[in-house]
């Protein structure tokens, strides 16, 4: 049996030509999991109803992804259903996906099943109103030094090969423990970690773009970075929160960006 790998397609897109589009929507941090029924239902309705010319999912589509072999296991029914819904949407409009910090093991098999097109992080998006930069955002949270050490470890080929060599149930338990440790660390810290301003501006300058859209921090806002540059932060999704956090960011030609609160639509 061939060794399981998490290899995405050989060349995720570094640039996307969106100049033909007049309406684009962005979501991230859905953290889909079987126990979060309200979030899943809201997301599934959104996929069926979205009328944009293209949809971008900028990381953390799933709460955790322990390997593409989950799709061949009875325990993966929920994940299979999610990918089926995305594939149905991808038949109507292009759906782009970027790896996040929770689903970085999402591999080529899962991507093919979903019909999504993979993006590099960061990725330049060209629109008829100018060009911007897309990212999940975690790589820019430089002040979270513990996470950056962890990120470097789990993104290494050696760590992923060793992890994926474990039985599925062992990987699932390991992932549960890692999430529990992460939540415990967040509860001990009273400081919200945000992206680094200097690093963000450096990315924008290097890519010759004027705005960035990202997720990860769960702190939706629009930040004026000066010199005509902006940073748009996506909301996470939680259908059980009060009020529910179910939001998409929409870009429209000649109008720019605005947020869509789906629980009020």
Q: Write down the pLDDT at residue 2.
A: 41
What is the rounded distance in angstroms from the CA atom of residue 262 to the CA atom of residue 265? 5
- Per DSSP, helices labelled H in 91-221 are 108-114, 145-154, 157-164, 168-188, 197-207
Instruction: For residue range 74-118, list pLDDT tens digits in order.
Output: 999 999 999 999 999 999 999 999 999 999 999 999 999 999 999
Instruction: For residue range 167-192, list pLDDT tens digits in order.
Output: 999 999 999 888 887 777 766 665 67
Q: What is the 3-state secondary structure (H, E, C) of 195-212?
A: CCHHHHHHHHHHHCCCEE
Q: For residue 78, give the nearest of 37, 109, 46 by alpha carbon.
A: 37
Q: What pTM did the predictor assign?
A: 0.93
What is the rounded distance in angstroms from the CA atom of residue 212 to the CA atom of residue 234? 11
Containing 214, the helix (H) or strand (E) segment is: strand 211-214
Instruction: For residue range 114-161, list pLDDT tens digits in order.
Output: 999 999 999 999 999 999 999 999 999 999 999 999 999 999 999 999
Domains observed in the chain = 17-264 (3.60.21.10)
pLDDT at residue 264 is higher than 80: no
CB 100 within 8 A of CB 61: yes
- Per DSSP, helices labelled H in the chain are 37-49, 77-90, 108-114, 145-154, 157-164, 168-188, 197-207
Q: Write down the pLDDT at residue 1.
A: 35
Instruction: For residue range 31-46, list pLDDT tens digits in order.
Output: 999 999 999 999 999 9
Compute the mean pLDDT over every residue in the chain, rounded to the nearest whole number: 92
């Amino acid at each position: 049996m061939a060794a399981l790998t998490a290899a995405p397609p050989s060349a995720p897109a570094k640039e996307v030509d969106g100049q033909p589009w007049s309406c684009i929507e962005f979501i991230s941090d859905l953290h889909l999991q079987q126990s979060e029924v309200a979030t899943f239902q809201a997301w599934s309705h959104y996929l069926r109803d979205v009328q944009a010319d293209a949809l971008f999912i900028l990381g953390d589509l799933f709460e955790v992804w322990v390997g593409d072999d989950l799709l061949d296991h009875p325990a993966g029914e929920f994940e299979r259903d999610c990918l089926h819904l995305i594939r149905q949407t991808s038949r109507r409009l292009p759906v782009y996906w970027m790896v996040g910090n929770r689903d970085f093991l999402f591999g080529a098999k899962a991507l093919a099943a979903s019909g999504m097109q993979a993006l590099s992080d960061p990725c330049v998006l060209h629109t008829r109103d100018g060009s911007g930069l897309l990212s999940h955002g975690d790589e820019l949270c430089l002040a979270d030094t513990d996470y950056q050490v962890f990120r470097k470890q789990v993104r290494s080929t050696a760590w992923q090969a060793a992890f994926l060599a474990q039985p599925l149930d062992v990987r699932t338990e390991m992932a549960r423990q890692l999430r529990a440790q992460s939540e415990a660390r967040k509860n001990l810290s009273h400081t919200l970690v945000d992206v680094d301003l200097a690093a963000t501006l450096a990315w924008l300058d290097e890519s010759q773009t004027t705005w960035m859209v990202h997720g990860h921090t769960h702190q939706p806002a629009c930040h004026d970075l000066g010199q005509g540059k902006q940073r748009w932060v996506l909301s996470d999704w939680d259908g059980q929160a009060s009020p529910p956090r179910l939001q998409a960011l929409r870009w429209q030609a000649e109008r720019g960006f605005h947020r869509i609160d789906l629980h009020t639509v």
